Amino acid sequence: MSSTVRRAGLAVVAATLALAGAVYGVTRSTAANAAVQLTAPQLVADMGAGWNLGNQLEANANGIPSETAWGNPVITQALIDRVKASGFKTIRIPISYLGKIGAGPNYTVDSAWLNRVQEVVNYAYNSGLYVLINMHGDGYKSVTGSWLICDASDQTTIKAKYQKVWQQVATKFASYNDHLIFESMNEEFDGQYGNPTQPCYSNIVAYNQIFVDTVRQTGGTNASRWLLIPGWNTNIEYTTGSYGFSLPTDAYRSSSIPSGEQRLMISVHYYDPWDFTGQEDGNITQWGAAATNSAKKSTWGQEDYMDLMLKKVYDTFVTKGYPFFVGEYGSIDKTSADSANNTYRANFAKALVATAKKYGGASAYWDNGYNGQYGFGLFNRSSNTVTQQGIISAIITAAGGTSPTTPPVSPSPSKTPGSPSPSPSKSSPGGTGTCRVVNAVNAWNTGLTNNITITNTGSTAINGWNLVFTLPAGQTITGGWSATYSPTSGTVTATNVSYNGTLAPGGSTTIGYQANHTGNAAAPTGFKLNGSTCS
C-alpha cells in the first residue's frame, strides 16, 4: 500500500523520534534454529492467519526511517504477544531503509537501524511465529529519499545499491530458520496506476533476480529459505497476465531442496473494490452477498470477482508449485457512516482468507495502527488491546484456527526476549504453581506442527520450567523451537531456553515443534509443568 494510504487518519509527526531502549541481538536455541523444510502446501497451511505491523518500521520523517514517525508508539514484545494470543501465526513487517543507507560503493546500512529491525523480528520469531520482512517504501516516488525507482535513468547505481542492502540484511539473518521469509520489495511500479510500462517492468524483474541471487549466495538457511516475489504493484492482473512479469531463476539454491519443489512464493495484494476497502467517504460501506442496502454496495468486486482473481494466481503459479501470499488486504472503518460497516469488513476479510486458502495461498491483514474513522487497526498499540474482535475472529476462523471468544489477556509483566527478567513481587525459583496449556495443531497427510501456549495461572513466578506431555502413538518430533525436547516420541520433556524461563503470574510463553505421524495427528496429552498438572 502506498505511504499516503497507509498513514490515513494519523496525525503525522514530522520529526524523527529517538528509538527507546537499548538495541541488542537475541540468541535463539539450537533446536529453534533447526531448519525444517516444508513443501508449498505444508508451508501455506502452517502459516495460518497473518497480520501486518504496518506504519512502523517503514515509517519515516524526511526520508529517515523511524518507527514512531507516523504516530504509532514504539513496538514492544507485549504487542506481538497480544497479536499471537489473538490467533495470528504470521507477522509481516514492512521495512524502509532510505536515509539509513550510506554512500556507495558499499552502501552500508546503519548498524543501529539494522539491529532494531532484528530486535523487532525477534519479538515474533522467538515466539514461534512466521515472520516476513521486505524492502518497503524505498521505491515510492512520493517519499523523500526514495531511490528504488524502476524508471530512473541510472539503473546501474540503483541495482548495485539494492544488491548491497539485501546482502547485508540476508547476512544478518542467515542463521534464522524457515520461519523467516524475505520479500524482495513492496508495490514497486513507476508511480502511475494503469498498464505497466517498459522498460520499468523489465527493471522490476531484474531487481527480483538480483534479490534471489544475492540472498542465496549469503549461505546458511538463506540457500533454502522461502523467498517472496512481487510483480508490478503486487497487482494480480499485471502479475498473472502477459504484461512482462517473469519469475527469477533460482540457480544458487541449496542442493538439499528436492528438484521437484520450489522455494519461491508469489506476492500479491488485494483491495478490491477500492470504494469499499479504502476510499475515505461514507458512500460504499457494505460488501458481499449479505449486504442489505444496494445503494451502499459497490457495483463490482464482490465474492465472484475475488474468486476469479485468486484463481488466476492459482492457475498461473500454484499449479506449477509456487504458492502465493496476499501480503496486504483489508478495509477501512466506516462505522461513522454506517453502524453495520464492521460486519461487512469482517465478511470481506473472512472471504479473502478463505478464498486464498482454497487456491493455495496464505494472507496477512493490513493494519496501520490507526483505530477510528478510516482506520485499518485491529489492535490498540498503546494499550496492547483488541479493538476489532469481530474481524479478528473472522480471519482466524477462515484460516482454520481457533479465535478466543473474548480478547486474550497479555502476559504481565511483559518480558522482551534477551532482556533481564522482571522482578516480581513474589518469586518461587523452580516453583510449581498452577498452569494452563493450549495446543494449536496444524496437520497434513504425514506431518504436523503444534504451538503450545503455557500460562502460569498461579500467584507466584516460575523461574525455570519443564513441561512433560505424552505424544499420541505414531508421532515423532523432527524439530522444535523455543524449548528443547527429549526424547522425540512417547513421554516428552520440553525444557525452557534462555529467553523464556521466567513465567510471571498470569504470564505466558509459546513453544512448538514439528512432528511426523502415521495417521493420528491429535494433540499431546497429560501436561505437567514442573510436576503440576495443567488444565
CA atoms of 103 and 313, how far apart (whole Å): 39
Total Cβ atoms within 10 A of residue 233: 23
Q: Residue 56 in contact with residue 67, Cβ under 8 Å?
A: yes
Our separate counts of H helices and E strands in the chain read 12, 24
323 with 266: CB under 8 angstroms?
yes
263: left (phi over 0), alpha (psi -120 to 50) or beta: alpha
CB 517 within 8 A of CB 447: yes
Picking from 451, 479, 518, the residue whose alpha carbon sits closest to that of residue 47 is 451
Q: Assign residue 344 a region: left if phi > 0, alpha if psi is -120 to 50, beta otherwise?
A: alpha
- Strand-pairing partners, residue 512, are 451, 481
**Sheet hosting strand 476-481, strand order edge to edge:** 435-443, 447-456, 508-516, 476-481
List residues with catalytic annotation: 187, 328
User: The C-alpha cell of 395 is what?
Assistant: 480471519
> Taking the chain, what is the end-to-end CA distance rounded to the nearest angstrom?
43
The closest alpha carbon to 65, from 91, 43, 40, 93, belongs to 93
Q: Distance (Å, rounded) from C-alpha 383 to C-alpha 375?
A: 17
What kind and span of H or E run contains 111? helix 111-125
**Alpha-carbon separation of residue 78 from 81, 200, 273, 327, 417 (angstroms):** 5, 42, 34, 23, 11
- Nearest-Å Rg of the Cα atoms of the chain is 23
Alpha helices in 400-505 (DSSP H): none
CA atoms of 170 and 154, how far apart (whole Å): 25
Instruction: Give CA–CA dist 512/516, Å, rounded.
Output: 14
Angle (deg, nearest 10), helices 303-316 and 341-358: 20
- SS3 category, 44: helix
Where are the alpha helices (H) located in 218-324, listed in sequence order? 236-240, 274-277, 303-316
Determine the Cα–Cα distance for residues 487 and 281; give it in Å rounded to an integer.
Answer: 59
Whole-angstrom distance, CA of residue 222 vs CA of residue 217: 8
Find out whether the peptide bond into 487 is cis, omega within 30 degrees of 0. yes
Q: Is the dihedral of CA 113, 114, 118, 120 positive or negative?
A: positive
Distance CA 148, CA 476 (A): 47
